């Protein structure tokens, strides 16, 4: 008698997975290695920026009060008593009717309180050989000065821990002197592909055989999520072989993914292996297409994911159930895929009682996000994955969907993430 499995909703399945804790650990790395990693500490401004009042222009630092009567007909004449470029300090205090030639980024000399751009001055030499400038309008105190702290004040939390480090965050790390950065250690995620039909990538096709694409796909998904993939190879559909490899992997990784062998077929050994290991199965059927056979268990602190062998089902299972746990161990508060509303770009007539996660591509058309399938929507299909940058989320129902309907999409290439995208999924309306 074939086992009858009871499907649970996608929302409940993700919730059951998310209720598990993950191990979070940090390490210190050089700033040069920081891009793409996840901050393990808040990034705090260690000083004001700018750290001193500075000139935003090439010009002359002046005392605004000296220009109060300046006009086109009666320009004011100031003595130029020095010149500084960025990186240098004018040490003396500037006196009445004096100016200092100053370049962008240089600190405002003591006594000065405004800057006049070079273009608004006329340089002259007085009869006694003194360099002077003429100014034809008045200036106010503070004109053209970048104030200390106007960018950021000391102590401000600039980036929260758990954020993926982008080039702008690298700039902040450098600005505040973080030559070393505290980042989350990448969780080690083991990958085992099961299937006697599987060939290595470099092997030629043979009758009944296919190349193992899932393992490579998942390793790339692990890297995209921020984890470290550890590959344990492809195994035959053999209970003992798979059990030994699974036990070994579990001593070495933080979480383990298997692909294939998770359904009810004669050679689908993953359920029996989970049983033999004494793992606690959270669910073995999800009301979704593809990936309905996705099985998730925990054993002590470790998650074990039995993802489907069908490539599209495997891909979706990873993004829904593995990615959030990888992100959680990277200190993320937003571990799930980010949700957005889009317009359905084509008719999608196939009804299904289960929620569909359709591999799709988003586009901007007339200022609107429009999503269309990136290929054929079957779980054994691999070709639709290459063009996919989102999943359309089509709730289960008896009717199909029409072009122009408003739908939810989950974005695959977004770096921000989402807290909990599963409430209030739009029941697609027009």
Residue pair 217/312 in contact by the 8 Å Cβ criterion: no
The answer to whether residue 310 forms part of the interface with ligand MOO (CB under 6 A) is yes
Q: What angle do CA 213, 222, 200 make, to 5 degrees?
A: 25
Shortest reach from residue 211's CB to ligand LQZAQKY5, in Å: 7
Rounded distance between C-alpha atoms, residue 112 and residue 219, angstroms: 60
**Among 162, 190, 291, 373, which residue interacts with ligand MOO (rule: CB under 6 A)?**
291
Is residue 17 a contact residue for ligand MOO (CB under 6 A)?
no
Q: Distance between CA 352 and CA 427 in Å, rounded?
A: 14
Contact at 8 Å (CB) between 183 and 165? Answer: yes
Q: Which two tokens stand for residue 178?
A: 């973080």
> Is the separation of the CB atoms in 168 and 158 below 8 Å?
no
Query: Which of residues 284 and 379 has its CB atom nearest to ligand MOO in the complex?
Result: 379
Is 268 a residue that touches Mg ion (CB under 5 A)? yes
Instruction: Specify the pairing of strand 59-62 against strand 210-211.
Output: unpaired
Asked if 292 interacts with ligand MOO (CB under 6 A), we say yes
Q: Under a CB-based contact definition with an 8 Å cutoff, are residues 307 and 259 in contact?
A: yes
Q: What distance in Å separates the CA atoms of residue 225 and residue 325, rounded to the nearest whole number?
A: 9
Choose which of 108, 169, 183, 215 interacts with ligand LQZAQKY5 (CB under 6 A). 215
Question: Which residues between 221 and 280 bind ligand LQZAQKY5 (CB under 6 A)?
Answer: 259-265, 268
Rg (C-alpha) for the chain, rounded Å, is: 31
> Does 308 help bind ligand MOO (rule: CB under 6 A)?
yes
Examine residue 289 and tell whether it contacts ligand MOO (CB under 6 A).
yes
Task: Pick one of 67, 113, 148, 292: the residue that binds ligand LQZAQKY5 (CB under 6 A).
Answer: 292
55 or 259, CB closer to ligand LQZAQKY5? 259
Location of structure tokens 């196939």: 350
313 binds ligand MOO (CB under 6 A): yes
The span of 32-40, 112-120, 230-238, 307-315 binding ligand MOO (CB under 6 A) equals 307-315
Selected binder of ligand LQZAQKY5 within 212, 298, 374, 384 (CB under 6 A): 212
Looking at the Cβ atoms of 289 and 323, the one nearer to ligand MOO is 289
- Segment 247-252 long-range contacts (CB within 8 Å, at least 24 positions apart): 247/277, 249/190, 249/192, 250/190, 250/277, 250/299, 250/302, 250/304, 252/188, 252/190
Q: For ligand LQZAQKY5, which is the closer residue by CB, 308 or 343?
A: 308
Q: Could you tell me if 280 and 289 are in contact, meaning their C-beta atoms sit under 8 angstroms apart? A: no
Binding residue (CB under 6 A) for ligand MOO from 107, 190, 290, 373: 290
- The candidate with the shortest Cα–Cα distance to 291, out of 232, 223, 352, is 352
Number of Cβ within 10 Å of residue 129's Cβ equals: 6
Quick check: 67 binds ligand MOO (CB under 6 A)?
no
With CB cut-offs between 5 and 8 Å by kind, which of Mg ion, ligand MOO, ligand LQZAQKY5, none does residue 337 bind?
Answer: none
**Contact status, residue 11 vs residue 422, Cβ threshold 8 Å:** yes
Contact (CB, 8 A) for 248 and 258? no
Question: How far is it, in rounded angstroms, from Cα 352 to Cα 342?
Answer: 20
Closest to ligand LQZAQKY5 by CB, 212 vs 329, is 212
CA gap 14, 425 in Å, rounded: 14
Verify binding: residue 198, ligand LQZAQKY5, rule CB under 6 A. Answer: yes
- 379 touches ligand LQZAQKY5 (CB under 6 A): yes
Single residue of 265, 351, 400, 404 touching Mg ion by CB under 5 A:
265
Q: Are 293 and 261 in contact (CB under 8 A)?
A: no
Minimum distance, C-beta of residue 214 to ligand MOO, in the bound complex (Å): 12
Q: Does 197 bind Mg ion (CB under 5 A)?
A: no
Comparing CB distances to ligand MOO, the nearer of 249 and 392 is 392
Nearest distance, CB of residue 198 and ligand LQZAQKY5, angstroms = 5
Instruction: Tell me which residues in 157-196 interact with ligand LQZAQKY5 (CB under 6 A).
Output: 193, 195
Size of the site for ligand LQZAQKY5 (CB under 6 A): 27
In three-state secondary structure terms, 239 is helix
> Most distant CA pair in the chain: distance in Å?
111
- What are the residues binding Mg ion (CB under 5 A)? 263, 265, 268
- What are the residues binding ligand MOO (CB under 6 A)? 289-293, 308, 310, 313, 379
- What are the residues binding ligand LQZAQKY5 (CB under 6 A)? 193, 195, 197-198, 210, 212-215, 259-265, 268, 290, 292-293, 308-311, 313, 379-380
């Amino acid at each position: 008698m074939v086992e009858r499995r009871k499907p649970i909703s996608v929302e409940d399945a993700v919730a059951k997975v998310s209720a598990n804790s993950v191990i979070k650990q940090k390490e210190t790395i050089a700033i040069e290695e920081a891009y793409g990693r996840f901050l393990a500490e808040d990034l705090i401004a260690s000083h004001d920026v700018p750290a001193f009042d500075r000139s935003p222009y090439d010009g002359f630092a002046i005392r605004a009060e000296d220009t109060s009567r300046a006009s086109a007909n009666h320009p004011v004449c100031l003595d130029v008593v020095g010149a500084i470029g960025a990186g240098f300090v004018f040490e003396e205090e500037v006196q009445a009717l004096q100016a200092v030639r100053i370049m962008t980024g240089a600190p405002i000399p003591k006594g000065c309180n405004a800057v006049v751009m070079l273009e608004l001055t006329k340089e002259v030499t007085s009869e006694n050989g003194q360099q002077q400038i003429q100014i034809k309008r008045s200036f106010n105190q503070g004109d053209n000065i970048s104030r200390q702290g106007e960018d950021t004040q000391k102590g401000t939390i600039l980036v929260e821990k758990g954020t993926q480090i982008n080039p702008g965050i690298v700039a902040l790390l450098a600005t505040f002197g973080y030559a070393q950065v505290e980042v989350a250690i990448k969780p080690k995620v083991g990958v085992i592909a099961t299937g006697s039909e599987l060939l290595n990538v470099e092997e030629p096709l043979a009758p009944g055989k296919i190349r193992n694409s899932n393992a490579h796909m998942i390793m790339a998904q692990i890297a995209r999520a921020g984890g470290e993939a550890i590959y344990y190879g492809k195994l035959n559909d053999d209970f003992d072989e798979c059990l030994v490899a699974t036990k070994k992997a579990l001593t070495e990784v933080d979480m383990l993914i298997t692909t294939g062998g998770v359904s009810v077929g004669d050679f689908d050994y993953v359920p029996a292996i989970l049983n033999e290991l004494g793992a606690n199965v959270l669910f073995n059927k999800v009301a979704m297409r593809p990936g309905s056979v996705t099985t998730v268990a925990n054993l002590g602190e470790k998650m074990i994911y039995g993802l489907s062998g069908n490539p599209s089902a495997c891909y979706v299972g990873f993004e829904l159930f593995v990615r959030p746990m990888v992100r959680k161990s990277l200190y993320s508060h937003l571990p799930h895929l980010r949700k957005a509303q889009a317009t359905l770009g084509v008719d999608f007539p196939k009804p299904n009682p289960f929620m569909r996660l359709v591999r799709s591509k988003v586009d901007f058309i007339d200022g609107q996000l429009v999503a269309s399938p990136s290929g054929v929507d079957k779980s054994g299909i691999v070709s639709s994955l290459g063009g996919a940058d989102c999943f359309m989320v089509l709730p289960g129902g008896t009717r199909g969907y029409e072009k122009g309907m408003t739908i939810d999409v989950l974005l695959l290439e977004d770096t921000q993430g989402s807290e909990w995208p599963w409430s209030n999924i739009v029941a697609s309306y027009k």
